Amino acid sequence: MKLIPLEDRVVLKPQEAESKTAGGIVLPDAAKEKPLMGKVIAVGPGKLLDSGKHAAMSVKKNDTVLFGKYSGSEVQLDGEDYKILRESEILGVIEK
């Protein structure tokens, strides 16, 4: 199944939470924080402007981005967890 976002929405695959601390302590599932980073899986065409054209999106497929803790909607598709959010909810792109 394929998920295609509308307007200025972006589909992300959240990265897994760290299972160890920097000091090597193994964290149980209950102590792990939700990930705030994710990989862009799909991008919508952009917000529809008054002129009838779509605004260009700032992110593209395969970008790694940061997003707010409570932003977007969590969905499950084919047993995989995804997050759908608006482009404006993305805080930044991580360059490697």
Task: Copy the structure tokens of residue 4.
Answer: 């295609």
Q: Please report the DSSP string for 28-54 in residue order.
A: PGGGPPPP-EEEEEEE-S-PBPTTSPB
Give per-residue pLDDT as tens, 41-51.
999 999 999 99
Q: What is the pTM of this model?
A: 0.77
Task: Copy the structure tokens of residue 41.
Answer: 């899986």
Give per-residue pLDDT as tens, 44-83.
999 999 999 999 999 999 999 999 888 899 999 989 999 9
Count of residues for the chain?
96
> Beta-carbon neighbour count of residue 83 at 10 Å?
20
Amino acid at 42: A
**3 lies in a domain?**
no
**1 lies in a domain?**
no
- Give the domain range for residue 40: 9-17+26-94
Q: What is the CATH number of the domain that holds 47?
A: 2.30.33.40
**44 lies in a domain?**
yes
Q: How many domains does the chain have?
A: 1
Tell me how far apart the alpha carbons of residues 25 and 2 are, in angstroms, rounded to a whole number: 38
**Burial class of residue 63, CB neighbours in 10 A (0-12, 13-18, 19+):** middle
Tell me how far apart the alpha carbons of residues 23 and 26 are, in angstroms, rounded to a whole number: 9
